[in-house]
């Protein structure tokens, strides 16, 4: 838990958020400012700043995040049409919230 981290506050309930899925290791909720018809965030409960801070010990959470993205794409009905799983890394990569998260984006009309 990092003081002043918005996603830590979402994880611990300080900022009320509707979770689409939650377990001890990650939470999933809709992006507040969606860039596509489906825009979902997959967020580890543990505070990790960015992809740059990942170590070999984090391999499980990273694979869990990707599997969760796949599961949510199926739930949202966008598996077949296709989607993006995206990590923005640090300021130059477009990262605004410095608590690791993966975007699931899709649902565009063909
Ligand atoms: P980044 O640019 O850091 O990869 O993406 C952060 C994302 O978090 C942005 O798409 C932004 O809209 C979303 N976001 C920021 N604050 C909140 C919030 O309080 N609730 C939700 N649901 N999404 C948020
Ligand atoms: Zn955090």
For residue 39, tell me if it sits in a domain.
Answer: yes
| pLDDT score for 1 | 78
For residue 1, tell me if it sits in a domain.
Answer: no
The average pLDDT across 90-103 equals 98
The C-alpha atoms of residue 16 and residue 91 are separated, in whole angstroms, by 26
The CATH number covering residue 74 comes to 3.30.428.10
The average pLDDT across 74-78 equals 98
For residue 65, tell me if it sits in a domain.
Answer: yes
Burial class (CB in 10 A: 0-12, 13-18, 19+), 83: buried
Residue 67 pLDDT class (50, 70, 90 cuts): very high
Domain count for the chain:
1
Protein residue closest via CA to atom 24 of ligand 1: 32
For residue 22, tell me if it sits in a domain.
Answer: yes
For residue 68, tell me if it sits in a domain.
Answer: yes
For residue 12, tell me if it sits in a domain.
Answer: yes
Which structural domain, as residue segments, surrounds residue 28?
6-106
| pLDDT score for 110 | 64
Query: Ligand 2 mean position to 6 CA, how many Å?
Result: 6
pLDDT averaged over the chain?
A: 97
From 97, 100, 102, 103, mutation site for ligand 1 pocket: most ligand atoms within 8 A of C-beta = 97
Protein residue closest via CA to atom 13 of ligand 1: 31
């Amino acid at each position: 838990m990092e003081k002043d981290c918005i996603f830590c506050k979402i994880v611990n309930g300080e900022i009320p958020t509707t979770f689409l899925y939650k377990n001890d290791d990650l939470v999933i909720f809709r992006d507040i400012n969606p860039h596509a018809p489906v825009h979902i965030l997959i967020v580890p409960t543990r505070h990790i700043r960015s992809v740059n801070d990942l170590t070999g010990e984090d391999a499980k959470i990273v694979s869990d995040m990707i599997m969760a993205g796949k599961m949510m794409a199926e739930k949202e009905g966008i598996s077949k049409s296709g989607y993006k799983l995206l990590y923005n890394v640090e300021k130059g990569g477009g990262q605004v919230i410095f608590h690791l998260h993966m975007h699931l984006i899709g649902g565009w009309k063909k």
